[in-house]
Amino acid sequence: MNTVCNSICRDKKEIEIAVARTLFEVKAVKINVAEPFTFASGIRSPIYCDNRSLLGWPQQRTLITEAFTQLIPADIDVIAGVATAGVPWAAFIANALNKPLAYVRSAPKDHGMGSTIEGAAVAGKKIALIEDLISTGKSSIGAVKSLRAAGAAEVSLKAIFSYQFAQADANFKNENCPFESLSRFSVLIELLQKEKYLSPEEAAIALEWNKEPETWFARVRRG
């Protein structure tokens, strides 16, 4: 199995390919052109990356965690996870880096203290916010806003995978929040073609969808 740790993969491109290959190995990537998947944002997609499946694979889980640790600056004070998918990864990373851990709910609890942020204090701290996947970025930006409202000094977002939507770039720019991912849609599609997992026709459909994901399904239905 590919590894990202130690001196083997220091180059960002190597990490992107290794992580994309890991997603392929655990069959986290799903293709269905006939019955497209529906994202939380409402976008219909012929390709879906189910990063939650990585949790069941110890070696691959370690690879992803080690890759994350290479993205995170030494001066980060707190590792925070976006509930729910980012929480286990934040826990793995915080443990690996010996950093305090927090997580951010999508909404305040309706009982107890009514907290949105649990775990470590974030006021005045530099936060690395962990997400499993970035599509439009809206849910992640909600967590960024919660951390800032709680007094975080700086927040940057790190994710396993990004669909590379132009809308995500615009959303994070508007929020003035830096973000990066371990791997990207274009890297994954290139790998899937090399592995013969995608036919040239399927790859072309995926790339066409990626250009205008909000309108792709309607255009396909019109023929």
Length of the chain: 223
Residue 112 has pLDDT above 60, yes or no: no
Give the per-residue SS3 of 46-62: CEEECHHHHHHCHHHHH
Provide the pLDDT for residue 93.
98
Q: Which of 6, 56, 2, 4 is nearest to 27 (CA)?
A: 56
> What pLDDT does 109 receive?
62
Tell me what the mean pLDDT of segment 181-188 comes to. Answer: 95
Q: What stretch of H or E contains 140?
A: helix 138-149
The pLDDT of residue 111: 56
pLDDT of residue 110: 57
Does pLDDT of 10 surpass 80?
no
Confidence of residue 114 (pLDDT cuts 50, 70, 90): low
Q: Please give the average per-residue pLDDT across 136-140, as a whole number.
A: 91
Residue 92 confidence (pLDDT): 98
Give the pLDDT of residue 3. 45
